[in-house]
Amino acid sequence: MSDVAHEANVSQATVSLVLNDVDGSGISQSTKDRVRVVAARMGYRPNAVARSLKLQRSDTIGFVSDQITTTPYAFGLVQGAHDAVRSFGRHLLISNVEHPGDVPRKVAEEMAVVELLERRVDGIIFASRFHRTLDVPSALNEVPSVLLDVAAVDHSLASIVPDEYTAAKNVCQLLLDVGHTQVVHLSTPHETPSVTMRRRGFVDAMTEAGLADSAVTIMGSGDSTPEGYITALEVLSAPSHPTAIFCHNDEMAWGVYQAAAEVGLVVPDDLSVVGFKNVSLVAPMLRPGLTTVELPHYGMARWAVSYLVEGRTDPVQEVVECPIVVRDSVIPPGLTGQLTRNQENR
Amino acid sequence: MSDVAHEANVSQATVSLVLNDVDGSGISQSTKDRVRVVAARMGYRPNAVARSLKLQRSDTIGFVSDQITTTPYAFGLVQGAHDAVRSFGRHLLISNVEHPGDVPRKVAEEMAVVELLERRVDGIIFASRFHRTLDVPSALNEVPSVLLDVAAVDHSLASIVPDEYTAAKNVCQLLLDVGHTQVVHLSTPHETPSVTMRRRGFVDAMTEAGLADSAVTIMGSGDSTPEGYITALEVLSAPSHPTAIFCHNDEMAWGVYQAAAEVGLVVPDDLSVVGFKNVSLVAPMLRPGLTTVELPHYGMARWAVSYLVEGRTDPVQEVVECPIVVRDSVIPPGLTGQLTRNQENR
DNA sequence: CATGAATTCTAATTCGTATTAGCAATTGAC
DNA sequence: GTCAATTGCTAATACGAATTAGAATTCATG
């Protein structure tokens, strides 16, 4: 900047005033033009580090997560945060806490936050790959922060989570609406909010339909495709099998498709299936397309960024609706044979 | 730091010397202890921005990509870069160029790089979601840079790409080794290095096996699962169908599985299938598990980071080997009925 | 022509740290 | 008791920009 100033025969202050378009600076148009031309000619490029130091603001947001950058699951979160941040002219500093290695997770998380604070981020988004309850790093209180998909034990920080309970209830209702009465919930043996809320949504939907007794929840040994397959195989091999299955997630739903094919059942003719999460690599690729619940990760992350950029600090607890994505895996029970499978599945 | 200095009755310089453990500084042990205690008690946290300004080094690496952060495909690249960077005590500034919107891609890329330069990153990794040839932003020359999965038109920058040609040749060889002679390559109508190198690998493997005449490459209308399905359906419905299919990627291979099921063919009994990319959400989840090629994205990204951290600037053109991941989708042709499908597929 | 007002610019300071030259006090040697 | 060497610390400066108080010049007015 000094070089530009010298070359344009003005002071460094003038260059700063011109390039930042400070109004009320009273620089004559001719000087402004001259400075701009010289700066362009010399290829002047502002030093954001110096700028940050002076302004006490880095135009950078920290993003701490567990496995998000690392897995193909919740990349909508990073994507939303990244896009939103860029649209505000800021940048994203990502810190993934995954391999705790020798240090316990809690310590690793705290360290990640502290490192971001040292870099003077203007705010921090603390995200989880799935909705869970956490004892959140205390250093988060030193800067505006938002919890993404994380239910904190105390509610002193703003947070945004999906309404998985209502979503689960709604997809189940969708099954009930077309006439299913024998619905099984294929769940997974974890006790995160994600899991329990989906279970509760299922149970409540069934109960309200007067089907409390037939609301069967079955626990697989995990939440992946092969685990869904194995569990579904048992369920579907039994003499009387359900006419619909509500899966904890799309991956397990795929396992259900595989198990159904194995025992000669056709989806959706003999078995309706719904998933959860709308995994882009799975749900739309299955044949027939899987009806599922969309977790609005992208929008949630955008909201989190907006919250920080707007300078808010109030501890709102946002709960967002999850839209149902209807595809072709649900039809009324007992329609077997009435539809020619190959044709109606596009 | 001044506050700490004042509280410990020393100068700011002393605090700096102590906290940075400068050797040869000649600070007495007692003073060191005192300073450290005071700093800890006051919760002193260094300002990385000021540090960067003074040291002319940000300990930050820029990561520019097209769709990586955004899609579940090549997340191994971000993951590797992130982990490597963290292990060196640095941070990653991610800039995804995707929605060019009103500005052309080239301009958007150049802008992304320039923004990173303004933030004084110590180096830039310029990555692509898939291996392709690009006219790379010229601003990359102003800072140490590595091209990841990008073949630049000129070779002035270091780059690292997978050896897709050899990998393709090798998987095809694997099919030939077990006895297949009627092999079809299911490709996609793009002309990126990824696509052409896999095609060439296929053709060369076939030619070297004396099967040049039966080396059939079929182009789908795209590279996704449904597109693979549609194309495979045609291929497999023909009176005489191949005994093995080499797919451009895992997603298309899944489409082949679906098409096979549709026409009553069993994988691998009636049809062997190999994919490419080892997509974690697909290849291991298919039944039978898909034999495919692993693109070593994680390791490539780590290499790129190491290159930058080591301060290298030589324009190496690294080409890395892609391991084959053997699962259960390949067996010799003509074994139909000899294996009981349900049992051997785990 | 003097005075005040407006215009146009600059000098000086600041942000928080790293680093070097050098000062003061202590110790050692004779 | 003197000088040199050593120990232990500090003052001062720089990094690159933003910002403010005010200087220098021009203009308008009576």
Chain A segment 39-98 residues within 8 A of B by beta carbon are 45-50, 52-53, 58, 60, 69-73, 75, 78-79, 82-83, 86, 91-96
DSSP labels, B71-91: SSSSHHHHHHHHHHHHHTT-E
| H helix intervals, chain B | 2-7, 12-19, 29-42, 48-55, 75-87, 105-118, 164-177, 193-208, 225-237, 250-262, 297-309, 341-344
For B262-303, how does the pLDDT look when each residue is reduced to its tens digit (9 = 90+)?
Answer: 999 999 999 999 999 999 999 999 999 999 999 999 999 999
Specify the length of chain B in residues.
346
Domains, chain A: 2-41 (no CATH), 58-156+297-321 (3.40.50.2300), 165-291+326-344 (3.40.50.2300)
What is the rounded distance in angstroms from the CA atom of residue B109 to the CA atom of residue B107?
A: 5
Give the count of Cβ contacts less than 8 A between chain A and B.
119
Q: In this structure, what is the dihedral angle of CA atoms A149, A151, A157, A159, given to the nearest 10 degrees?
A: 30
The answer to whether A253 touches A230, Cβ cutoff 8 Å, is: no
CB contact under 8 Å between B82 and A91, yes or no, is: no
Is A279 an 8 Å CB contact of chain B?
yes
Residue A99: pLDDT band (50, 70, 90) is low
Residue nearest to nucleotide D12 (CA to C1'): B13
Per-residue model confidence as pLDDT tens digits over A23-82: 888 889 999 999 999 999 999 999 999 999 999 999 999 999 987 666 667 788 988 999
Q: Report the residue from A48, A75, A114 with minimal CB separation from B119.
A: A48
Of all nucleotides, the one whose C1′ comes closest to residue A25's CA is C8
B chain contacts of residue A49, beta-carbon cutoff 8 Å = 49, 52-53, 58, 119-120
Question: What is the mean predicted confidence (pLDDT) over A146-160?
Answer: 91
B20 CA to C19 C1' distance (Å): 12
**Gap from B16 CA to D11 C1', in Å?**
14
Above 50 in pLDDT, residue A245? yes
Q: Nearest chain B residue to A342 by CA: give it.
A: B262
Distance from CA(A152) to C1'(D30), angstroms, rounded: 74
Question: Residues B220-235: pLDDT tens digits?
Answer: 999 999 999 999 999 9
Does A83 sit within 8 Å of B46, measured CB to CB?
A: no
- Residue A13 Cβ < 7 Å to strand C: yes
Distance, in angstroms, between B301 CA and closest chain A CA?
13
Q: How far apart are alpha carbons B25 and B27 in whole angstroms?
A: 6
Scan residues 111-170 of A and list those with Cβ closer than 8 Å to B.
114-115, 117-120
Q: CB–CB of A163/A232 below 8 Å? A: no
Q: Do B96 and A83 touch (CB under 8 A)?
A: yes
Distance CA B68, CA B71 (A): 6
Residue B42 Cβ under 7 A from any strand C atom: no
Which chain A residues have a beta carbon less than 8 Å from that of B60? 93
Under the banding of pLDDT at 50, 70 and 90, the label for residue A343 is very low
Separation between the CA of B40 and the C1’ of D11 (whole angstroms): 26
Measured between beta carbons, which residues in chain A are less than 8 angstroms from residue B62? none
Give me the mean pLDDT over the A231-256 stretch: 96
Question: Is the predicted pLDDT of residue B75 greater than 90, yes or no?
Answer: no
CA angle B247, B251, B255 (to 5 degrees): 75
pLDDT-based confidence at residue B76 (cuts at 50, 70, 90): confident
Contacts of B52 in chain A (CB under 8 A): 49
What's the CA gap between A140 and A63, in Å, rounded?
Answer: 12
A112 falls in which pLDDT band (50, 70, 90)?
Answer: very high
DSSP category for residue B150: E
Mutation for testing the B interface, residue in A63, A94, A142, A286 having most B CBs under 10 Å: A94
- A 10 A CB-CB count for B266 gives 15
Tokens of B331: 């067996």
Residue B342 has a pLDDT of: 41
- b vs e for B185-199, b when ≥16 Cβ sit within 10 Å of the residue's Cβ? bbbbeeeebbbebbb
Protein residue minimizing CA–C1' distance to D7: B26
Phi-psi region of B52 (alpha: psi -120 to 50; beta: other; left: phi over 0): alpha
Please report where in the chains the tokens 């620089």 appear, as a residue: A27
CA distance to partner chain A, nearest, from residue B70 (Å): 5
Question: Does the C-beta of A53 come within 7 A of strand D?
Answer: yes
Nucleotide nearest to A20 (CA to C1'): D18
Q: B205-209: long-range contacts (C-beta < 8 A, 24 or more apart)?
A: B205/B168, B205/B169, B205/B170, B205/B172, B205/B173, B205/B176, B206/B172, B206/B176, B209/B173, B209/B176
Q: Residue A1 pLDDT more than 60?
A: yes
Average pLDDT score over chain B? 92
Q: Could you check: is the Cβ of residue B30 within 7 Å of any atom of nucleic acid strand D? A: yes
Q: Which one of A53, A280, A287 has the shortest CB-CB distance to B49?
A: A53
Q: Which of B50, B119, B254 sits opposite A53 (nearest CB)?
A: B50
Q: Work out the mean pLDDT of chain A and round it to a whole number.
A: 92
Q: Could you list the beta-strand ranges (E) of chain A.
A: 60-65, 91-96, 123-134, 145-152, 158-162, 183-187, 216-219, 244-247, 272-274, 292-293, 317-320, 324-325
- Cross-chain residue pair A47–B118, CB shorter than 8 Å: yes
- Pick from A254, A58, A92, A300: which is nearest to B48 by CA? A58
Residue nearest to nucleotide C14 (CA to C1'): A54
CA distance B69 to chain A (A): 6
- Protein CA A8 to sugar C1' C3 (Å): 34
**Cβ B11 to strand D below 7 Å:** yes
Alpha-carbon distance A86 to A138, whole Å? 27
User: What local confidence, expressed as pLDDT, does residue B134 receive?
Assistant: 81
> Which residues, including other chains, have CB under 8 Å from residue B9's CB and lie 6 or more apart?
none
Residues A81 and A98: their CA atoms lie apart, in Å, by 19
Q: pLDDT grade, residue A320 (50/70/90)?
A: very high
Contact list, B262 vs chain A (CB under 8 Å):
342
Does residue A343 reach within 7 angstroms of strand C, measured from its CB? no
User: Between residues 181 and 220 of chain A, which touch chain B (CB distance below 8 Å)?
Assistant: none
For position B69, what pLDDT does the model report? 64
Note whether B224 contacts A96, CB cutoff 8 Å: no
B159: enclosing H helix or E strand: strand B158-162
CA B26 to C1' D3, in angstroms, rounded, equals 23
Residue A147 has a CB neighbour count (10 Å cut-off) of 25
- CA-nearest residue to B101 within chain A is A87
Q: How far is B59 from chain A (nearest CA, A)?
A: 10
